[in-house]
C-alpha cells in the first residue's frame, strides 16, 4: 500500500532530511512515526502526499508512483489520502458542515451524496450538534475532530496525521485517538507522527523511529523511547 525505496531528500539549503529510507506499510496498518525534532518525520510524511518530492528514490502509494506522478494528477492522489495536521487548517469562514463538505463539492459530488456523507462523518466524530458553528467557536479538540471528519469524508484508504494531538490537552488527545482507532478498525491505514509518549506506549501499534533522516527502529507493538 505504501512503499518507499531508497528515498533520499535534500532541501535546497543542503539539509538532508531523508537519507535512504526503505519501508513497506500494508493496508490496514496503524503506524506511529516517532523521533526527536528535526529527525525528518514531517518530511517523511509530506513525501507521502506529495507535499514534498524526494530528491531520489521511489515512493508508491496504492500503486501510484509519486516520483513520476504529474502535478495535474496530484489532486487525484490527495483524494485517496486524508491528511490531518497539528494546527487543524480549517477554513475560518466556513462552518463545520461546510469545511467537511468542501472536499466533496470540489469534486462535484451530487448534493444528496454530499449531505449524507458529511452528516455520517460528523456523527462519527460526535459533531452533529455543532454543524453550524464556525472554527473560532470550537475548542481545539472539536477543531481537530472537524479536521478528521474532513480527512475521511472521501473514504480514503490512508490517513496521514502529523502530530494530531500536538496542540491538545491529554484528555482531549485520548478522545482524538479513540476516533483514529475507530477509523483504523474500519480498515483505513493510519500513519501518525507523534511526540506523545503516553499514547504510543498505551495504544500499541507499529512504531517507526526516525533519526537523522534514517529509520533507526521499526517494531510492531513498539515503545516510544528516544535516543
* Positions in the binding site for ligand ADP (CB under 6 A): 11, 13, 15, 17, 35, 37-43, 95, 97-98, 115, 119, 131-132
| CB 203, min distance to ligand ADP, A | 21
Nearer to ligand ADP, 13 or 136 (CB): 13
Q: Which is nearer to ligand ADP, 11 or 220 (CB)?
A: 11
Residue 1: name the closest of 21, 19, 22, 27 by CA. 27
Rg (CA), the chain: 17
Smallest gap from Cβ 39 to ligand ADP, in A, equals: 4
- Calculate the alpha carbon distances from 74 to 56, 57, 61, 84 in Å: 18, 18, 12, 17
Question: 169: helix, coil or strand?
Answer: coil
- CB closer to ligand ADP out of 9 and 205: 9
Which cell is 82 given? Answer: 486524508
CB of 171 to ligand ADP, least distance (A): 25
Task: Between 102 and 157, name the residue whose CB sits nearer to ligand ADP.
Answer: 102
SS3 content of the chain, % helix, strand, coil (to 5): 35, 25, 40
**Burial class (CB within 10 angstroms; exposed 0-12, middle 13-18, buried 19+) of 131:** middle
Closest CA to 51 of 66, 68, 35, 33: 66
Spatial separation of the C-alpha atoms in residues 32 and 73, rounded to whole Å = 28
Q: Whole-number minimum distance, CB 63 to ligand ADP, in Å?
A: 25
Quote the cell numbers at residue 32. Answer: 506511529
Q: Least distance in Å: CB of 119 to ligand ADP?
A: 5
Smallest separation, CB 12 to ligand ADP (Å):
7
> Cell for 139?
475548542
| Closest distance of CB 66 from ligand ADP, Å | 17
C-beta of 40 vs 135, nearer to ligand ADP: 40
Which residues are bridge partners to 160 per DSSP?
A: 83, 191
Nearer to ligand ADP, 28 or 94 (CB): 94
Nearer to ligand ADP, 127 or 168 (CB): 127
Q: Which residues pair with 64 in a beta bridge?
A: 61
Amino acid at each position: 500500500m505504501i512503499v518507499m525505496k531508497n528515498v533520499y531528500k535534500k532541501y535546497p539549503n543542503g539539509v538532508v532530511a531523508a537519507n535512504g529510507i526503505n519501508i513497506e506499510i500494508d493496508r490496514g496498518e496503524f503506524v506511529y512515526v516517532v523521533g526527536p525534532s528535526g529527525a525528518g518525520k514531517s518530511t517523511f510524511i509530506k513525501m507521502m502526499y506529495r507535499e514534498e518530492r524526494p530528491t531520489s528514490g521511489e515512493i508508491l502509494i496504492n500503486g501510484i508512483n509519486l516520483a513520476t506522478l504529474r502535478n495535474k494528477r496530484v489532486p487525484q492522489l490527495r483524494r485517496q489520502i486524508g491528511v490531518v495536521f497539528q494546527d487543524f487548517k480549517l477554513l475560518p469562514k466556513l462552518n463545520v458542515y461546510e469545511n467537511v463538505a468542501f472536499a466533496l463539492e470540489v469534486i462535484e459530488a451530487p448534493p444528496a451524496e454530499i449531505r449524507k456523507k458529511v452528516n455520517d462523518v460528523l456523527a462519527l466524530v460526535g459533531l452533529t450538534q455543532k454543524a453550524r458553528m464556525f472554527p473560532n467557536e470550537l475548542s481545539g479538540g472539536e477543531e481537530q475532530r472537524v479536521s478528521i471528519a474532513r480527512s475521511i469524508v472521501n473514504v480514503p484508504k490512508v490517513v496521514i496525521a502529523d502530530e494530531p494531538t500536538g496542540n491538545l490537552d491529554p484528555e482531549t488527545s485520548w478522545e482524538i485517538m479513540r476516533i483514529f482507532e475507530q477509523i483504523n478498525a474500519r480498515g483505513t491505514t493510519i500513519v501518525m507522527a507523534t511526540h506523545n509518549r503516553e499514547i504510543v506506549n498505551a495504544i500499541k501499534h507499529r512504531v517507526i523511529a526516525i533519526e537523522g533522516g534514517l529509520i533507526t527502529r521499526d517494531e510492531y507493538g513498539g515503545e516510544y523511547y528516544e535516543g
